[in-house]
């Protein structure tokens, strides 16, 4: 597994819609943007990929952003409060490997994935995914099939309970690798 340095991404966040107001340029993780601006309503991602969060400390709804312009979060992503924190997603070159489990604490059915899955239920006959172990790569899990709905960023590590992570009542139905296509 190879992950390049954390300085591969760059984004500029703006207080107001349409890239207006004060701005904050970011090239690493930022747990709380309130020390730089009172709110964040638009963004330009110049390079790399970012995960943005509705609340400080990487909490609340999260959204994946790749290179591009995001002039109005509220209309584009349904974010009511704008962005409060962000993570820069490191580029990964190498294998992707993840184990998904039907129940919490790695219980029930287990399936090992190495590529994207647009429907967990259709491919694995699994109606729910409540824990996972990411061995290699960075992944996005989606609430609905075909990579739609709310998202959750998964980096290498063990995730024993999505419910305890604040994702109670949310089912993950599709999973996609975050590739260097950012």
What's the confidence (pLDDT) of residue 2? 38
Query: Which region among 75-89, 98-112, 145-159 has the lowest average model confidence (pLDDT)?
Result: 75-89
- Residue 24 scores a pLDDT above 80: yes
**What percentage of the chain exceeds 70 in pLDDT?**
90
Whole-angstrom Cα distance, residue 165 to residue 3? 25
Whole-angstrom Cα distance, residue 21 to residue 5? 31
174, exposed or middle or buried, with CB in 10 Å at 0-12, 13-18, 19+? buried
Query: Which region among 55-69, 79-93, 112-126 has the lowest average model confidence (pLDDT)?
Result: 79-93
Q: Mean pLDDT over all residues of the chain?
A: 89
DSSP letters, 72-123, are -HHHHH--SS---EEEEEPPEES--EEEEEEEGGGEEEEEEESS-BS-HHHH
pTM of the model as a whole: 0.87
């Amino acid at each position: 597994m190879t992950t390049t340095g954390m300085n591969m991404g760059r984004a500029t966040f703006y207080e107001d819609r349409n890239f207006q107001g004060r701005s904050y340029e970011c090239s690493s993780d930022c747990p709380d943007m309130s020390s730089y601006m009172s709110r964040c309503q638009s963004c330009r991602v110049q390079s790399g990929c970012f995960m943005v969060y509705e609340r400080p400390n990487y909490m609340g709804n999260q959204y994946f952003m790749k290179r591009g312009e995001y002039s109005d979060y509220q209309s584009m992503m349904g974010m009511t409060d704008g962005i409060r924190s962000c993570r820069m997603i490191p580029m990964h070159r190498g294998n992707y490997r993840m184990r998904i489990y039907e129940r919490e604490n790695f219980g029930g059915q287990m399936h090992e994935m190495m590529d994207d899955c647009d429907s967990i239920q259709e491919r694995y006959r699994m109606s729910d995914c409540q824990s996972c172990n990411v061995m290699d790569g960075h992944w996005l899990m989606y609430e609905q099939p075909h990579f739609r709905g709310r998202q959750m960023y998964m980096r290498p590590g063990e995730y024993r309970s999505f419910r305890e992570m604040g994702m109670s009542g949310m089912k993950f139905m599709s999973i996609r690798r975050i590739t260097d296509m950012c």
